Structure 1
Amino acid sequence: MPTLLLVRHGRSTANTAGILAGWTPGVDLDDTGREQAAALAGRLAAIPVAQVVSSPLERCQQTVEPLLAVRPELGAAVEDERLGECHYGDWTGRPLSELAKEPLWRTVQDHAAAAAFPGGESLRELSHRTVDAVREWNAKVAAEHGEDAVWVACSHGDVIKAVVADALGLHLDHFQRISVEPCSVTAIRYTPQRPFVLRMGDTGDLSSLAPKPGAGGHGDRGGDATPAGDAVVGGTA
């Protein structure tokens, strides 16, 4: 099955200001975020990306622009609102230091499955829409580009943590244990048996994720004879 590269957007002006941006329009990458986005294109240089899908929000669109500029064959990123940021409702635009004093903050931290943002959505709803989106796109990419295809989805921190929690079989209450830095890459390969989390929050070299001819996988198998949906007993080469 294809390999999904989940990219968190680069550092934004809201990140540096300590503001919960949510779906606020006009939140752009800051200078560091633009540098991170430019570096991402180089980090993915060895990987034959078949498709780029993105949250419609500006900071995600700006993150994939340098990659698309050097891969004109990809065209524009396909926007999918299901990969957009959590709808934080009344929390949107407020300082994180202020939100940390709200009673709901502790629920978000310790019992995420019970957390629903006033005037917005619950974290359960976030998880359902985002996991459905990546699994549907994965099947579409497989049908159009083959089982060894690699595709990119650019999204947001809480979205990526929810998708990773699902891939790891973690209860949503534990998704705050997962950390994804700005412009980090998390790689997941879905198989009929289980997902394999190949990278989590990686900010370095990604070249080993390129498909290896004849190896039957994307770098996690080492060319062994283990069936494609099985984990390698004893670890990989």
Structure 2
Amino acid sequence: MATLLLVRHGRTTANASGVLAGRTPGIRLDDLGVQQAERAGARIATVPVAALLTSPQERCRQTARAVAAAQRGAGHPTTRALAEKGLAECDYGEWQGRPIKELLREPLWSTVQRQPSAAVFPGGESMVAMQHRAVAAVRRRDADITRDHGPDAVWVAVSHGDIIKSILADALGMHLDLFQRINVDPASVSIIRYASDRPYVLASNTHDGDLSWLAPKPGKRRPRSRGAVVGGGAGPA
């Protein structure tokens, strides 16, 4: 199957001021966030990307444009970012737009931390529903990209912290109640390969490092998965 690069958007004005942005329109990357997005795009530019999907929120579309610009700069075929509703930010309902320091005092905060599978945001969605639609979206898109571009294809999905954490938790076989153990920073890159036997999490929350080992090798096909290699294997060449 294809390889998925999950990219969180760069830092925003809301992140910097401690506000839960949610789906509030007009939330954009701050100056540091722009730099972070450009750095992530430069890392990914060592790999030709078969598809680029993004959450509809502006901060993700900005980050996706940085990835697309770096692809063009590296001479790869033009990649246009396509919006995917399944990657949209969690609908935090009445929590949206409120300062984190206020939300800390809400009884629901403890549920979100300790038992997120029971959390339903007032006027919004449940965290279970959030995970289900995000996982369904990436698995569907991954199957489509594998069919259209082959099992060596690499594609990018730009989304949000809780969305990416929930996708990683699913790939790791973790219950949603454990997903707060996963950290996903702004503009970080996480990597999942959905093989026929199981998903493989190849990296999580990375900020630096060479990604060129993901690029398809001319004349070579990735070997079919025969399960996890006992002892860990030799790794990429």
TM-score, normalised to structure 2, is 0.93
Give the counterpart of 2:216 among 211, 217, 229: 211
Q: How does 1:1-237 map to 2 (within 5 A)?
A: 1-72=1-72, 73-205=77-209, 206-212=211-217, 216-217=221-222, 227-237=224-234
One-letter amino acid of the structure 2 residue matched with residue 78 of structure 1: L
Q: How many residues align?
A: 229
The 2-side partners of 1:196 and 1:75 are apart by 25
Q: 1:33 to 1:91 in 2, by over 3 A?
A: same
One-letter amino acid of the structure 1 residue matched with residue 171 of structure 2: A
Q: CA deviation at 1:149?
A: 0.2
* Contact 1:50-1:151 at 8 Å conserved across structures: yes
Deviation per residue, 1:212-234 (Å, 9 max, x gap): 456643xxxxxxx7x51411111
The 1-side partners of 2:17 and 2:198 are apart by 39
Deviation per residue, 1:88-114 (Å, 9 max, x gap): 000000001110110000000000100
* Contact 1:51-1:74 at 8 Å conserved across structures: no
Structure 2: gaps of 5 or more residues: none
Q: Partner of 1:199: helix, strand, or coil?
A: strand
The 1-side partners of 2:196 and 2:60 are apart by 30
The 1-side partners of 2:136 and 2:12 are apart by 27
One-letter amino acid of the structure 2 residue matched with residue 126 of structure 1: M
RMSD: 1.4
Deviation per residue, 1:33-62 (Å, 9 max, x gap): 000111122101221111000001100011
* Contact 2:40-2:189 at 8 Å conserved across structures: no
The 1-side partners of 2:165 and 2:24 are apart by 21
Q: CA deviation at 1:76?
A: 2.1
Structure 1: gaps of 5 or more residues: 218-224
